[in-house]
Structure 1
C-alpha cells in the first residue's frame, strides 16, 4: 500500500487482484476502514501539500519539512490501522520511503500531532507591546479626564444636576465601545485609557466638591 497526493487529494495505491485486469489501483481513504478522522486528516494534509508544491516552495523550507513530517506520521497511522507497512511518496521531494506499523504508544503520539493547516496558518503570539500600549492608555486617559472635568465644571456652574446627567450620558455613550474594545489587541489600550480617564475625572470632581 502506498500513500500519495493526487490533484490535492490523498489516495492509497495498491495491487488489485480482482477483475479481469490485474494491476495497481488508487482508492480514496474514505473507502477503507481507516476511520473518518484519519481519512479527513489525509485529505487535509494533501491539500496543504498540493499548495506547497504549486507555490514552488524549496524542498528544504519550513512548509515543505512540515508537509513531509506530517505525511510520514499519517502513513504510520495507516500502517498501524491496517497492520501492514505503508510506502509513502513525499509530494515535495518525490522520495519514496517505507513506513512500518508503529508501536501503540507511537501511534497515539502521531494522532495527537497538530494538523499541517493549523501548523502553517497559526503564528506564534506576538509579545505584548507594553511601552506603546501604556503610552496610548496614558494619552487617552488624559484626554478623557480633561474633557469630562471641563464639561462637568462648565455645566456645574449652571446646575449640578445637569452636570450629573451629562456625566451619565457621556459614560453611557462610551460604555459600549469600551466593552467591545476590551479584548481587541490594539483598541484595548484605548479602552483602558477611557476607563482610567473617567475614574480620574470623577475623583477630581469629588475633590472639587469637598
Structure 2
C-alpha cells in the first residue's frame, strides 16, 4: 500500500516528496509526481499558505507549545486529512513544528480548517489577509472555565490572606500583592495558548477582585487599631 507524506520544508508544501503550488489557476508539481491524479486548486492554495506559515513559525523562535505552533500543527493535520480524502489513499503527516510523523488511515471526511497565522513576509500574496482559515471562538466554554478559575483563585486568596491582612493591616495587603505579582509573569506567558488562555484571564480576574475585600479588611484593622 502506497502511503504519501504531507510535509512542509522551507516554505514549500510537499506531497509525497514533491513540492506543489498554484500557478495561474493550475496546480503544479503534483501532476508530475502522480499522473492521472490531482489536488483541488483550493486545497493546493491552503497547503501553500500553511507551509509559509510553518516556515515563519520555525524562524520566529517560537516554542512547540506556543499558540502559533499549535495552530500550524492542527492545520497541517487537517490539510493532510483533506489530501487523503482528495486522493483516496492513506497519508502520513510530518509535523513541521515537532518533526513527528503522524499516520492518517482510512480518512473519509473532514470539516473545517482551523485558524493559522499567515507569514508577515512571503514570496506570494504579501500583505494580504486570508479568510481561508477560520475557527469560531468557544466563548461559552471559555467564559465558563474563566469564571470557575476566577472563583477558585478568589476563594483561595481570601482564605489564605484574610487572617494575615487582619493581623498586619496594610502591610499584610502589600505582602499579598507582592505574592500575586510574582505569579503574573508565568501566567502572562500562557495568555495566548488555546484553552489555557481562559484560565489565565480567570486567574487575573480572581486576583483583582480579591483586592477589594482584602483592602476593606486592612482598613478596618487600621481603624479599630
Tell me which interval the TM-score lies in, with the shorter structure as reference length: 0.3 to 0.5
Greater share of helix residues, 1 or 2?
1
User: TM-score normalized by structure 1?
Assistant: 0.47
User: TM-score normalized by structure 2?
Assistant: 0.44
Instruction: Choose 1 or 2 for highest CA Rg.
Output: 1
